[in-house]
Structure 1
Amino acid sequence: MTLHSDVLIVGAGPAGLSLAISLAQAGFTATVVEQQPESALAQPAPDGREIALTHPSRATLERLGTWAQLADHEVGTICEAQVHDGPLGQHSALQLSASRSAPGNQCVGAAATEPLGFIVSNHALRRSAYAVAARTPSVRIVTRAQVTRVATLGAQAELDCVTASTDNATSGTPTERLHAPLLVAADSRFSATRRQLGIGAQMTDFGRTVIVCRMRHALPHGGVAHECFGYERTLAVLPLPDDPLDGHALCSVVVTAAAADAAVLMAQNPEAFAAQVQAQFKTRLGPMRLVGERHAYPLVAVYAQRFVGPRCALLGDAAVGMHPVTAHGYNLGLAGVERLTTALVAARQRRQDIGSADALASYARGHHRHAWPMYQGTNAIVRLYTDPRPVPRLLRQWVLQGARRLPPLQAAIVGQLTGQPPRWVRALAPRQ
């Protein structure tokens, strides 16, 4: 069977589904192809990842209608961020907060300004995106589908997928061939679709593993996020909404360690692991206890050699897979949704073919200028703050002292965190 839509999207993650919704709102039709079953999209299992969202990202989710699908207890507020170098308390922390007044927000006291950002569980973002996409008339979602071939032809993009009626049955099932003017790869930083399209990527394997989990603690977090750069391990403690069942304070803990060290941490019993985190955080939140499971992920950053090609475009982690230390991965994906939608709407208004190079050029150029400084800056931060040698240690202190004493530098850092960087930062990106 040959089916047609305006855009084929490979990958029903939050970025792919958000693009489908955005395109439908703009008057396009979209087909999303996903290997997972519908049940896994409708009710995703918790995976330990908590996503920090910028103000532009929240605005995008509100426009798409997915923000309204989140329960109050699923949305946390980050009022302030503190960056610590070395053992906690050894040096003064760099304190970052937004400066614009926002009466009625959840930040109180000295941080009673516009929040730096918001924090939502990854599985909640996935669930809300699917809930809206599944009921959008111009969006078709093909689940349990294995993409076997993609091709970009002269007048159209083409995709073959094998669909299964059950999770474990693929052999002997029919192959669907889908055609559209444009194909978008949104199937993870290790995108098989990107490879089939002949687009390479720069990959940076940090040789480290990130462990993510939720923890309960005795003292309130005050909406403050902490990034603690230890010389062997990096610890992030992110504020979460209180437990909706019993009102206990919760945080997200992110431990980054060498692979062997991470394996040891994962093998510890819950009490021993909690004790390690509590000790590294100097008991600032009082006694801590693990809630739920720990999840481990290898740290590999990815930057595609180009974001578009003949009748194709890359979105989300397939375009840029970020190190999580600056929490910009999903925010870049949503920024890409906005840019790509805008580019296709403009092409339609000019009566251009939406899969043409001219139609996609503005998306590629704008997304690269936005993503490149964040990607390179994040990687530089990771290298600088995980290097135990004396000279990098001294340089780290210079950077933190400079940020504390130079308001323009601090403003640039806050701009990056809130998703509204100064123009001079965006202008640093070379041509892709």
Structure 2
Amino acid sequence: MPTAGTKPANGAGTRDLDVFIAGGGYVGLSLALALKKAAPGLAVAVADARPPEAFEKDERASAFAAAACRLFGTLGVWREIRGEAQPITDMIVTDSRLRDMVRPVYLTFEGDLEPGEPFAHMLHNRVLVKALLGAAAKAGVELLAPAPVDDFSTGDEQVTIRLKDGSERRARLLVAADGVRSRLRDLANIRTVKWDYGQSGIVTTVAHERPHHGRAEEHFLPSGPFAILPLKGDRSSLVWTEKRGEAERLVAGDDFTFELELERRFGRHLGKLRLDGPRQAYPLGLTLARSFIAPRMALAGDAAHGIHPISGQGLNLGFRDIAALAEIVVETHRLGLDVGSMEVLERYQSWRRFDTWQMGVVTDVLNRLFSNDNDLVRAIRDVGLGVVDRLPGLKKMFIGEAAGMAGDVPRLLRGEAL
């Protein structure tokens, strides 16, 4: 977590809190800020195991659905970061092989969720985290970094969290927002459904000669989807899916070889390309927690679910988690009841688990359907894409899904204060 507003965990004794959040990324910070904005009397702390520079050097960018942008507006940070966010104005989907001379467009999405409100924006992660951190510190959130959690123990009325430096915190509710390899989830003995796709997602930024005009592109190739996502200026963020061995070779190789392979997939429609940031590869798999809760503990974000990026919804699922959890916790606090009770936790789980598992299944099926080169499967999926493209009502439904506005949407994601 960046340095502004943070303090080291060492030297602090055991102190009582309402909510302790393990994980200081955008999910954990958004939850903390939402709680303090709606209920200033709640005592909230956020701890992250990573050193400050880990966030400041994060070159990745993410696609934030319109619902998430409404959340940021309600939390008071959207005005600060909007100037650095690139609206996604439309999107095209193709399905082809690398050797194909022409990539036919089978599906297009365009139009706003509401007039003047794009269905998504692209923004660098470090920009969002910096804004959330400053707002959280101003709101009175206790920020600890680096402060890895070593262990915790649960009693009838509280949970005691022990940090690596020997200090402790007591809280009524512990929230694990510490990523897909969540240590807290393991400590709570929460089992997962998990498998590896044998793929890696290569993430990097490229500069190009011609403007993208806010268009996002998703090219389905035999090795997996290749997504081009617009950034401010003549730049784009890439999420490039490859078989794991090939991804490792590309990331470890020289820039010339990487750019040649990149151009084969990207094409020349935006002119000459050049790398404009580091390249990294992340293993792709499916991880779904069998339970989102344990006594006095809730999982949120990637700690509860890690899905394939083919739909671009993994990040936005995390915001749905914290918006739902914040709404339930604030309502409970205003009634003077226990924010860490099993009744509260069960309400959270019933709201979020089915939606998450459904999205996990959808992304798994899509990845298996599109990450192959079978001629029959290719013909079937292309017909399906063409049908969707010709049905305005169905396309509008998909835009609502991409914008994060489908299903039982928490108030914060509708742009309503708690």
Provide TM-score, normalisation by structure 1. 0.86
- 1:422/1:142 Cα in 2 relative to 1: closer, same or farther (>3 Å)? closer
Kindly indicate whether the alpha-carbon contact (under 8 Å) linking 1:412 and 1:422 is maintained by their aligned counterparts in 2. Answer: no
Shift of 1:99: 5.2
> What amino acid is aligned across from residue 327 of structure 1 in structure 2?
G
Number of equivalent positions: 391
Determine whether 1:402 maps to 2:378. no
Determine whether 1:16 maps to 2:28. yes
Determine whether 1:261 maps to 2:246. yes
Q: 1:219 aligns with which of 210, 231, 241?
A: 210
Residue correspondence of structure 1 range 373-388 to structure 2 within 5 A: 373-388=358-373
Residue correspondence of structure 1 range 311-326 to structure 2 within 5 A: 311-326=296-311
Match of 2:63 in 1: 52
Determine whether 1:152 maps to 2:163. no
What do you get for the CA RMSD once the two structures are aligned? 1.9
1:93 counterpart SS class: strand
Shift of 1:34: 1.5
Identity over the aligned pairs, expressed in percent?
A: 30
Match of 1:36 in 2: 50
Match of 2:86 in 1: 76
2:358 counterpart SS class: helix
Match of 2:178 in 1: 187
> What amino acid is aligned across from residue 229 of structure 1 in structure 2?
F
Aligned mates of 2:114, 2:169 — CA distance in 1: 50
2:33 counterpart SS class: helix
Match of 1:167 in 2: none
> What amino acid is aligned across from residue 218 of structure 2 in structure 1?
E
1:118 counterpart SS class: strand
Which string of whole-angstrom CA distances, capped at 9 and with x for unpartnered residues, describes residues 329-383 of structure 1? Answer: 2212222221111111222234321111112222211122432332221121111
Kindly indicate whether the alpha-carbon contact (under 8 Å) linking 1:97 and 1:115 is maintained by their aligned counterparts in 2. Answer: no
Aligned mates of 2:74, 2:336 — CA distance in 1: 26
Shift of 1:185: 0.3
Kindly indicate whether the alpha-carbon contact (under 8 Å) linking 1:415 and 1:421 is maintained by their aligned counterparts in 2. Answer: yes
- 1:4/1:422 Cα in 2 relative to 1: closer, same or farther (>3 Å)? closer
Shift of 1:50: 1.7
Match of 1:172 in 2: none
Which string of whole-angstrom CA distances, capped at 9 and with x for unpartnered residues, describes residues 52-107 of structure 1? Answer: 111110011112223233262x21110111111113734333001235562xx5xx
Match of 1:196 in 2: 187
Aligned mates of 2:200, 2:52 — CA distance in 1: 30
Which string of whole-angstrom CA distances, capped at 9 and with x for unpartnered residues, describes residues 204-237 of structure 1? Answer: 3111111111111112112110000111343111
Aligned mates of 1:361, 1:293 — CA distance in 2: 42
2:189 counterpart SS class: coil
- 1:98/1:371 Cα in 2 relative to 1: closer, same or farther (>3 Å)? farther
Shift of 1:395: 2.1
- 1:100/1:24 Cα in 2 relative to 1: closer, same or farther (>3 Å)? closer
Determine whether 1:353 maps to 2:353. no
Aligned mates of 1:207, 1:306 — CA distance in 2: 25
Kindly indicate whether the alpha-carbon contact (under 8 Å) linking 2:106 and 2:386 is maintained by their aligned counterparts in 1. Answer: no
Kindly indicate whether the alpha-carbon contact (under 8 Å) linking 1:19 and 1:341 is maintained by their aligned counterparts in 2. Answer: yes
> What amino acid is aligned across from residue 138 of structure 2 in structure 1?
R
Kindly indicate whether the alpha-carbon contact (under 8 Å) linking 2:113 and 2:119 is maintained by their aligned counterparts in 1. Answer: no
Aligned mates of 2:111, 2:305 — CA distance in 1: 26
Match of 2:405 in 1: 420
> What amino acid is aligned across from residue 134 of structure 1 in structure 2?
A
Q: 1:117 aligns with which of 120, 130, 141?
A: 120
